[in-house]
Amino acid sequence: MYTKCKNLLPNNADTNEEVKKLKVATHSNIALCHQKSNDHFEAKVECNAVRALEANNVKALYRRGQCNLIINELEDALEDFQKVIQLEPGNKAAANHVVICRQKIKETKTKEKKLYANMFTKLAANDKETEPPRETDVLSKCGEWSEEDAKREADLLLERDNIIMI
């Protein structure tokens, strides 16, 4: 229904104030419909369309903040809710969402710290366990023969002397 309304409205930017209000209302209602159907990415797109027409639209900011919160774009959600509070200082719903955003951001950061700390300690432990034993440097012993090596070489010389070339 709202999509038909959106398609009937003129697309050019040189429209009068009444058409602009209709576009804002239409995009805002479409965003709400997308939110109700759990299509938060599309709802965010519609909220952005409202913001393109009217930058300080509180409904669009609040709805976009809700979408960002649900899709875990927490920093963007926090910015949107803070902008709502800036435009409407008495908006308690936005203030509650700011608290929720900050709490979720804090939880996310602690989870990341824990994850990365464990990751690096596990990697360090694996490096210590799987480090192969170092081989002795062959060149450092070059030219040094043990008695066993000398005996083997002498036996080989005797065998070579006994070989007759034809």
pLDDT tens column, 24-62:
888 899 999 999 999 999 999 999 989 988 889 999 999
Q: What is the pLDDT of residues 65-113, one digit of tens each?
A: 999 999 999 999 999 999 999 999 999 999 999 999 999 999 999 988 8
Q: What is the DSSP letter of 110?
A: H
Q: Within 13 Å and on the Cβ side, how many CA atoms surround 79?
A: 6
Q: Is the CATH code 1.25.40.10 the one for domain 2-114?
A: yes
Domain segments of the chain: what residues?
2-114
Question: What integer pLDDT is reported at residue 31 of this predicted model?
Answer: 92
Residues 122 and 117: their CA atoms lie apart, in Å, by: 9
Residues 31 and 1: their CA atoms lie apart, in Å, by: 13
Locate 93 and state its tokens. 């719903």
